[in-house]
Amino acid sequence: MLPKALMGFDVHLLDPQKPIPAGTMLLMVDVDLRDPEMLSRLRAFRKVSQRGSEQIIAIGKNDLQDELQAAALGARKTIVKPLSEKSLASYIDERRIQTFVTSKTATAAAQAGAKAIKDSFEEVKRNSAVDIDKIGEAGRNIAESIADLGISEWLSTVRIYHQSTFQHILLVTGLACAFAQNTGMSKSDIAKLTQAGLLHDIGKVWIPDAILDKPGKLTVEEYEIVKRHPVDGYNKLNEQGNIDPSVLHSVKYHHEYLNGSGYPDGLTANQIPDMTRILTICDIMGALLEERAYKPRFTVSKSIAILKEMVAQGKLEQALVLALETVMEQPGSTRSAMTGLAKTAG
Ligand SMILES: [Fe+2]
Ligand SMILES: [Fe+2]
């Protein structure tokens, strides 16, 4: 019996030896991505599948290794186990209004970015220095991918990462990078802002998962723990002595607001340079565009509207929010059909 979500589709058992016609939706469910035999069968599948076919791979919750493996296998979409009628249905709905475009550049850059973020978190956990060259390299790949394909394609690509912190960092980095590229910032500032995006939440490594993934409202004590991450991240990065001061400033102060209502130090406008202001706006935008345990994914237009409310409250700079709105309207390259995201999301 077909799940209801698949009613109306032609469903076939696929022969791994035969090409899969373009446009076929390939469901791969409940596979063990650590099983070498299964992996080689999936790779063989990938070889015979044509451009345009879609792969969905079910992964364990918050399992970055599975996510990286799924991305390497060419998955356009991962669905967190256990698979349910609802998760399948939401995918099918999404598919009806979005055109997915194969983008090796974006996928490879997202993979390298996720790997660099994962490594940096592990380095910090081990108390060693973050490999800043690797972060720089990942940042350059992301910048190239966004320059080539546009921000919408990037937002769509990084959604493969369910692990919320990784998806968040990749989204924020992409937004910051697109902002920098589209507002004519210098190459070196683009690189710094991209680095700041990749490193901004590194202090979250010390926040327990139970707090990070808590579906409900945080208690006052839990929120106090969350609020430590900018300073913890800054202290760790500052001590290694090879990170640009503007990047360090952005890491420490990306939760400050112009009217002094942010944290950790309640800085006000004249103490917050542009780069930090931009990162703050991209950080909030990224969070709004993400699905979180306590909120749905907001559309681009709703997210911009929320940022404008924050401008009205004196928290964010109007000119920068309007510039981000323009950046989000950029169609990307002609190779990208993900203007559909803006339409869908807007
Ligand atoms: Fe943060
Ligand atoms: Fe953040």
Domain residue extents for the chain: 4-97, 104-345
Say which CATH superfamily domain 4-97 falls into.
Answer: Response regulator (3.40.50.2300)
Q: Which residues share a beta bridge with 59? A: 80
CA of 228 to the centre of ligand 2 (A): 13
Please report the pLDDT score of residue 137 as a whole number: 93
Nearest to 52 by CA among 90, 103, 18: 103
Asked if pLDDT for residue 341 goes beyond 70, the answer is no
Tell me if 176 sits within 8 A of 196, measured CB to CB.
yes
Can you tell me the distance from the alpha carbon of 123 to that of 111, in angstroms, rounded to the nearest whole number? Answer: 18
CA of 226 to the centre of ligand 1 (A): 8
The residues placing their C-beta within 5 Å of ligand 2, an ion, are: 201, 283
Asked if pLDDT for residue 296 goes beyond 50, the answer is yes
List, for residues 307-331, the tens digit of each pLDDT value: 999 999 999 999 999 999 998 986 6
Name the pTM for this structure. 0.71
Asked if pLDDT for residue 274 goes beyond 50, the answer is yes
Nearest to 177 by CA among 196, 165, 194: 194
Asked if pLDDT for residue 249 goes beyond 70, the answer is yes
The pairs formed by 204-209 with CB atoms below 8 angstroms and a separation of 24 or more are 204/165, 204/229, 204/233, 205/121, 205/124, 205/125, 206/232, 209/62
Lowest-confidence segment of 32-46, 98-112, 157-171 by average pLDDT:
98-112
Nearest to 337 by CA among 5, 8, 6, 95: 95
Please report the pLDDT score of residue 266 as a whole number: 97
Nearest to 253 by CA among 224, 223, 283: 283
Q: Which of 125, 187, 204, 308 is catalytic?
A: 204
**Is 204 a catalytic site residue?**
yes
CA of 171 to the centre of ligand 2 (A): 9
Please report the pLDDT score of residue 192 as a whole number: 96
CA dihedral over 291, 88, 340, 53, signed as positive or negative: positive
Task: Locate the DSSP E strands across the chain.
Answer: 25-28, 54-59, 77-80
Asked if pLDDT for residue 108 goes beyond 70, the answer is yes
Can you tell me the distance from the alpha carbon of 157 to that of 112, in angstroms, rounded to the nearest whole number? Answer: 13
Query: How is domain 104-345 classified at the CATH fold level?
Result: Hypothetical protein af1432 (1.10.3210)
Lowest-confidence segment of 184-188, 242-246, 248-252 by average pLDDT:
184-188
pLDDT tier for residue 345 given thresholds of 50, 70 and 90 = very low
CA of 147 to the centre of ligand 2 (A): 22
CA of 186 to the centre of ligand 1 (A): 25
Asked if pLDDT for residue 170 goes beyond 70, the answer is yes
The residues placing their C-beta within 5 Å of ligand 1, an ion, are: 201
Ligand lying closest to the C-alpha of residue 263: 1
Please report the pLDDT score of residue 314 as a whole number: 98
Please report the pLDDT score of residue 57 as a whole number: 73
CATH topology match: 4-97 vs 104-345: no
CA of 346 to the centre of ligand 1 (A): 25
pLDDT tier for residue 29 given thresholds of 50, 70 and 90 = low
**To which H or E segment does residue 232 belong?**
helix 229-239
Ligand lying closest to the C-alpha of residue 197: 2
pLDDT tier for residue 14 given thresholds of 50, 70 and 90 = low
Tell me if 58 sits within 8 A of 83, measured CB to CB.
yes
Report angle CA 65, 67, 72 to the nearest 5 degrees.
Answer: 95
Write down the H helix ranges in 50-150. 64-72, 85-97, 104-125, 132-149
